[in-house]
Amino acid sequence: MKGYIKREDDFQERRKHLANLTDEELKARFWELLEKIVDPLLELARTHTTPSIERSVLLRMGFSSLEAKPLVEGAIDRGLMGKGVGHIVYRISKEKNIPLRQAGLEMIEGKHWDDAVRIFKGGNE
């Protein structure tokens, strides 16, 4: 193959620190390293969202784009966006014992926002 550069095989050298580990120890090491890679990604996902992401979640929950926009704006106005707008609508639905869609539509009308602030800032979660 033209332009192919042969790589020096250094596998034996690179694996020396793993050579004396059992299969169980290797498996534990694998999961430990995997957590080091994935944990920052999970934390980033938990702490960083955008209006677009929140609208997308609401669309998948059955709201139209015209309905999702005021829900996201309502969460932003109250400093609740980091809680997840879909999560907020879900919690209101559960607390009020009403269907999810009804909770969202009522929130668009301005209802339940005080409850949402209490739930997410007041100590319930």
pLDDT attached to residue 65: 95
Query: pTM here?
Result: 0.64
Q: How far apart are CA 101 and CA 64, in angstroms?
A: 11
DSSP category for residue 108: H
Interval 17-56: pLDDT, tens: 888 989 999 999 999 999 999 888 878 877 788 999 999 9
Which two structure tokens, joined as six digits, stand for 49? Answer: 């969202």
CATH of the domain spanning 51-122: 1.10.8.1000
What mean pLDDT value characterizes the chain?
89
DSSP string covering 39-104, please? HHHHHHHHH---HHHHHHHHHHTT--HHHHHHHHHHHHHTT-GGG-HHHHHHHHHHHHT--HHHHH
Q: How far apart are CA 112 and CA 50, in angstroms?
A: 22
pLDDT of residue 125: 44
* pLDDT digit string, tens, across residues 97-112: 999 999 999 999 999 9
8 vs 81, higher pLDDT: 81
More confident residue, 121 or 28: 28
The domain segmentation of the chain, as residue ranges, is: 11-47, 51-122
The residues, ordered by sequence, that sit 6+ positions from 19 with a Cβ below 8 Å of its Cβ are none
- CB burial of 71-98 (b: ≥16 within 10 Å; e: otherwise) equals bbebbeebebbebbbbbbbebbbeeeee
